Amino acid sequence: MRAARLIKMVLLLQSRPSMTAGELARELEVSERTITRDAQALSEAGVPVYADRGRTGGYRLIGGYRTRLTGLARGEAEALFLSGVPGALREMGLDDVSSAARLKVSAALLPSLRDASDTAAQRFHLDAPGWYQEPRTPELLPVVAEAVWGDRLLSARYLRRDAEVERRLAPYGLVLKAGVWYLCARACAENSFRVYRIDRFTAAEPMQERFSRLESFDLPAFWDERAAEFARSLLCAETVVRLTAEGARRLPHVTDRVAAYEALAAADPPDAAGLRTVTLPVESLDVAYDQLLALGPDAEILEPASLRTRFAETAERMRGLYGT
192-221 per-position pLDDT tens digit: 899 999 999 999 999 999 999 998 899 999
148 vs 206: CA distance, rounded Å: 9
Question: Is residue 293 exposed (0-12), middle (13-18) or buried (19+ Cβ within 10 Å)?
Answer: middle
Q: What does the pLDDT read at residue 136?
A: 78
One-letter amino acid at 173 equals G
Asked if 280 and 238 count as a contact pair (C-beta separation under 8 A), the reply is: yes
End-to-end distance of the chain based on CA atoms, in angstroms?
73
Q: What is the pTM (predicted TM-score) of this model?
A: 0.59
159 vs 173: CA distance, rounded Å: 20
148 vs 185: CA distance, rounded Å: 9
Q: What does the pLDDT read at residue 114?
A: 61
Count other C-beta atoms under 10 Å from residue 226's C-beta.
16
Q: What does the pLDDT read at residue 61?
A: 85
Convert the pLDDT of each residue in 109-125 to its tens digit.
656 666 666 666 666 66
233 Cβ neighbours under 8 A, 6+ residues apart:
none
297 vs 166: CA distance, rounded Å: 52
293 vs 277: CA distance, rounded Å: 16
Name the E strands within the chain: 49-51, 59-61, 152-160, 163-177, 180-187, 192-197, 201-210, 237-243, 276-282, 299-303
DSSP 3-state assignment of 8?
helix
Half-sphere exposure of 217 (CA within 13 A, CB side): 15
Q: For the chain, which ranges sit under pLDDT 70? A: 1, 54-56, 64, 66-89, 94-126, 324
151 vs 250: CA distance, rounded Å: 46
